[in-house]
Chain A
Amino acid sequence: MAGSTTADIIGGRGAPPAPRDFGGGDGDSGGRGASRRASITGLLVLLAASVMFFAAFTSAFFVRRGMSNDWVDTPLPHILWVNTGVLVASSLALELARRALRAGRRAAFNRFWTGATILGALFLCGQYLAWRQLNDAGIYLATNPSSSFFFLLTCVHAVHLVGGISALGYIDVQALLLRLGPSKRTAVDVSAYFWHFLDAIWIYLMVLFFFWG
């Protein structure tokens, strides 16, 4: 212990836990960047903002629907059900990938993760087809308030999804180039949580469209 200092004992990563009454900080600022905990907190905070964003649209949706007599339910294109299945499948594939990663089966991880990314891209293509189908039926953004909200909410969700796919794609490239070291496990988890969140938002939107159109 010769030469050890307070900073030595409680400054490093292997430091003993802080006494209970101090609670709070753990003395590990994690270098110039995000520690794992901060990344997960950051993600949760981002999701909270996202929830507020969709909540604002939802409240506008119900106010607009309740106060006017020009609301005409938008018929849901059937392909949306296929898309929903594709998105749920991509979430499942991500979980299988993470399980494979935890077990050290890197090849399986790569397979599942790539599959999930492709399914995500397929979902976006499916959404595009849904918009085209509505357009072909003469339904556009400004046709009536229901279609305005349909296009708006699906578009906003798709924009989120583009962000999600970018994250999945980045990790996929890192994995395929054998660059997915332990330090990138946080990125794997954070991307997966974000993706599941988008999945949940989509199911929520489907419920909204299905029952209140």
Chain B
Amino acid sequence: MSSPVVHAHGAPQGFIRRYIFSLDHKVIGIQYYFLALFSVFLGMSLSVLMRFHMVYPDAKVSLFEKLWPTGAAGGIMTPELYLSLMTMHGTIMVFFVLTTAPQSGFGNYFLPIQIGAEDMAFPVLNMLSFWTTLLALVVMVSAFFVQGGAPLSGWTAYPPLSAVGPLSGPGEGMGQTLWVISIAIFCGASLMGAINFIATTIDLRARGMSMMRLPLTVWSWFVTAILGLLGFAVLLAAGVLLLLDRMAGTSFFLPAGLVVNDQILNHKGGSPLLWQHLFWFFGHPEVYIAILPGMGLASQLLATFSRKPIFGYRAMVYAILGIGFLGFFVWGHHMFMSGMNPYSAMAFSILTMSIGVPSAIKTFNWIGTLWGGRIRFTTAMLFALGFVSLFVSGGISGIFLGQPALDLYFHDTYFVVGHFHMIMGVAAIFGMFGGTFYWFPKMFGRMMNETLGKIHFYLTFLGVYAIFTPMHFLGIAGNPRRYADFTNFEFMNNLMPVHKFMTHAAIFTAVVQLIFVFNLFWSMRKGAKAPVNPWDSTTLEWTVSSPPPFDNFAGKHPVVNHGAYEYSVPGAAKDYIMQSDPA
């Protein structure tokens, strides 16, 4: 028989083919990562501006005037400008950070390697999906610079406000149109990405990599891709309808007799509720698109750094599938306030509560994994523990909001803001931090600084709890959300010190993130050289050099003989068995 089958592929040599229009899933993953990094700082800056305005509404800031000559004439932010910042903060964070970094960034880089493939199934499609995402971001950000500025209608873009055009406020003209177009482009990009993730996971696994040997990260990317596939297709359809209402005079979402700014609009018969149904049919699975990759990563990190197999691997897989499946039947719980048949509300409520079961399975299994482990408190592990903490804290308030009777009270208050920021925002972002510290050595061939990492973790952990815990109390006290300024309401006077505290905590937390950025870029150049497997991990990416060769396995075909989390196996020579170790 001939020599081993080796068909290593040479990497493309030109700079443009190699780093710009690259077909390599690893480069594309890094491109997505940096796109999300840019977006998260943009989104965070907007939130700091909003928090500042909320507690110092009368402060004259010349920077505001420079940035928004009409929206902040005289240096004082108008309520409309505040709403546009809120809209852009939400949109950028949800789409270009939470959807992009954990799934498209880490997923692109590590899914093929973890399943033993050379690349994604469709590399050209992969490249296209990144560049379309970038285009969507450019279109979205450009909304700041057009006449009227960015849109006001929130990341959920509820009609009629989002559908009636410039009549309803600055930003509702060109800005809102660009918003819809950007989201439509983003849907296209996400669909391309989902096709790649699903086909790659199903068809390109290495020999021996059965579904029940997949790392839980791969399982979560796979299920997330299915959610994205089904959800973004519906959002795209909704976006097309909204665009037609805005530009072609149709009446899908606009009812008859609508009077805006003293003008009767020439629409009739449409239903704003129709948009809400279509939007949330996407919107709720979107929450899981943001959090599932973090769950997979938390599982990976907790097992690795506890030196124990993940507790209940199969249960974890079924829980991921259960969360993904149930996620498509609960969209109505976002609409209890919109007017809903009480029987429908009850059905949506019961289904919503039932998601607590797989979520609890995951949480208990994470704790079970930690139990009796020899825990290594690396920065990545700290962020994974932080993820679990935030997931529990944010999840418990979800039980309150899932009940129509309570939601009617809480819905338009800061309780909701606190809830979704904890579970969907910072929990997911802790997942990204954990992933960064864990995979950075593989991606860039150098270690990140652990001391800086730990300082960053503890300060951020304190910071996010300081920002978002008080929001729940404010909500219970009846503090409405989406308001630009609370100083005119007498009942709010006693709550303003809490707002001030949160604003200071937000500024503090934002500044602390500079430690991370410094660590990231400093470590890329000056970090200690990373060995092949710095964490004594078991999955396939830790069998190849750091960073991996162009075709991932240098022409070899990995063979998988073990499950993903064989730590501390009795009788084994080391305290871990790599997936590709001989049987």
Contact = CB atoms under 8 A, between A and B. Distances in A.
B238 A56 contact: yes
Nearest to B190: A49
B567 interface: no
Contacts of B119: 29, 32-33
A60 B236 CA distance: 13
Interface string B532-544: 0000000000000
Interface string A15-50: 100100111111111111111011101100110111
A3 B233 CA distance: 52
Nearest to B230: A52
A4 B269 CA distance: 74
B327 to A, nearest CB: 14
Contacts of B208: 18, 22, 24-25, 27
Given A3-B3, A24-B208, A42-B121, A29 B557 contact: yes
A8 interface: yes
Contacts of A4: 1, 4
B4 A5 contact: yes
Interface stretch (B249-257, B306-314, B418-426, B449-457): B249-257
A27 B1 contact: no
A31 B269 contact: no
Nearest to A69: B269
B353 interface: no
Nearest to A63: B274
A148 interface: yes
Nearest to A46: B195
A212 interface: no
Given A24-B213, A141-B244, A53 B237 contact: yes
B205 interface: yes
B5 A8 contact: yes
Nearest to A27: B207
Most buried by A among B211, B269, B278: B269
Contacts of A59: 277-278
Contact of B123 (A33, A37, A49): A33
Interface in A143-162: 145, 148, 152, 156
B204 interface: yes
A154 B252 CA distance: 17
B206 A29 contact: yes
A10 interface: yes
Contacts of B156: none
B117 interface: yes
A8 B240 CA distance: 52
B194 interface: yes
A169 B203 CA distance: 28
Interface in B118-177: 118-119, 121-123, 125
A69 B117 CA distance: 56
A138 B238 CA distance: 27
Contacts of B488: none
Given A38-B203, A42-B122, A27 B252 contact: no
B203 A45 contact: no
Contact of A22 (B122, B191, B207): B207
A12 interface: yes
A26 to B, nearest CB: 6
Given A18-B207, A38-B121, A56-B278, A64 B270 contact: yes
A29 B25 CA distance: 14
Nearest to A65: B269
B198 interface: yes
A23 B122 contact: no
A70 interface: yes
27 contacts: A2-B1, A3-B1, A7-B556, A8-B1, A11-B207, A11-B557, A18-B208, A25-B116, A25-B209, A25-B560, A26-B205, A31-B9, A33-B119, A45-B195, A48-B229, A49-B229, A53-B236, A53-B237, A56-B234, A56-B281, A63-B277, A64-B252, A67-B271, A68-B270, A70-B256, A141-B250, A148-B251
Given A22-B208, A141-B244, 6 more contacts: A7-B559, A8-B5, A24-B213, A32-B119, A42-B195, A48-B229
Interface of B: 1-5, 7, 9, 23, 115-119, 121-123, 125, 191, 194-196, 198-200, 202-213, 229-230, 232-234, 236-238, 240-241, 244, 248-252, 256, 268-271, 274, 277-278, 281, 551, 556-557, 559-560
Interface of A: 1-8, 10-12, 15, 18, 21-35, 37-39, 41-42, 45-46, 48-50, 52-53, 55-57, 59-60, 63-64, 67-71, 141-142, 145, 148, 152, 156
